[in-house]
């Protein structure tokens, strides 16, 4: 849960010090720690999968612990994507605003991540709902592996290709 709390710290703070959960500060200036933070997020997000698998395989009839881990994962992924949208993509669109080739690539990559996030959220809903969990339990490990592989491939592409646009 520490990872989720760390991610929640990226939301805007009000003048009174409270957190505004509706918006993450947009960033149009280069941040030399941003890519390192995203790579750490990727490792943390992928780290949920062995925990979820262990919870499920230890007792597939106990839905509560697996459901809690799935919800923590979902929240962490959603926050990570919001931070990417507001910090990485805002910066890249500003940097490459007149370069149609780079701008189109960035927009395509952002749209693709939106679709991947939707798939992950659908997976989450499918297995956090008790009735759906019970009805689909035999597919859980396969579905979990598919979401893991989809995200692992995506994160590798970001780290190999997308983040170089930020740093160049």
Quick: pLDDT tens for 6-50. Answer: 665 665 555 555 445 556 677 778 999 999 999 999 999 999 999
Percent of the chain predicted with pLDDT > 90: 77
Answer whether 133's CB lies under 8 Å from 67's CB. yes
The model's pLDDT over 127-161, given as tens digits with 9 standing for 90+, comes to 999 999 999 999 999 999 999 999 999 999 999 99
Q: Is residue 161 part of a domain?
A: yes
Q: Is residue 5 part of a domain?
A: no
Q: Is residue 10 part of a domain?
A: no
pLDDT at 28: 79
Residue 140 C-alpha from the chain's centroid: 20
Q: Is residue 143 part of a domain?
A: yes
CA–CA dist 40, 46 (Å, integer): 10
CA–CA dist 49, 28 (Å, integer): 33
Q: What is the mean pLDDT of the chain?
A: 89
Q: Look at residue 59 and tell me whether its pLDDT is greater than 60.
A: yes
C-alpha distance from residue 72 to each of 5, 65, 124 (Å): 10, 11, 10
Q: Which domain holds residue 150?
A: 40-167
Q: Is residue 85 part of a domain?
A: yes
Q: Is residue 134 part of a domain?
A: yes
HSE value, Cβ hemisphere, 13 Å, CA-based, for 78:
16
Q: Is residue 131 part of a domain?
A: yes
Please tell me the total count of domains within the chain: 1
Name the band, by pLDDT with cuts 50, 70 and 90, for residue 168.
confident
C-alpha distance from residue 60 to each of 122, 127, 138 (Å): 20, 11, 9
CA–CA dist 136, 64 (Å, integer): 16
Name the band, by pLDDT with cuts 50, 70 and 90, for residue 97.
confident
Q: Is residue 118 part of a domain?
A: yes
SS3 16: coil
């Amino acid at each position: 849960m520490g990872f989720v709390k760390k991610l929640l710290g990226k939301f805007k703070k009000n003048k009174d010090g409270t957190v505004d959960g509706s918006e993450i500060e947009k960033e149009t200036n280069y941040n030399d720690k941003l890519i390192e933070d995203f790579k750490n997020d990727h490792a943390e997000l992928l780290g949920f999968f062995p925990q979820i698998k262990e919870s499920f395989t230890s007792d597939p009839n106990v839905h509560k612990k697996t459901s809690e881990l799935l919800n923590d994962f979902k929240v962490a992924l959603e926050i990570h994507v919001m931070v990417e949208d507001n910090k990485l993509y805002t910066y890249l669109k500003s940097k490459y605003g007149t370069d149609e080739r780079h701008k189109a690539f960035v927009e395509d990559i952002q749209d693709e991540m939106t679709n991947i996030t939707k798939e992950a959220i659908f997976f989450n809903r499918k297995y956090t709902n008790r009735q759906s969990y019970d009805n689909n339990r035999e597919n859980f490990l396969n579905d979990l592996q598919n979401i893991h592989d989809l995200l692992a491939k995506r994160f590798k592409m970001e780290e190999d290709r997308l983040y170089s646009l930020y740093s160049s």
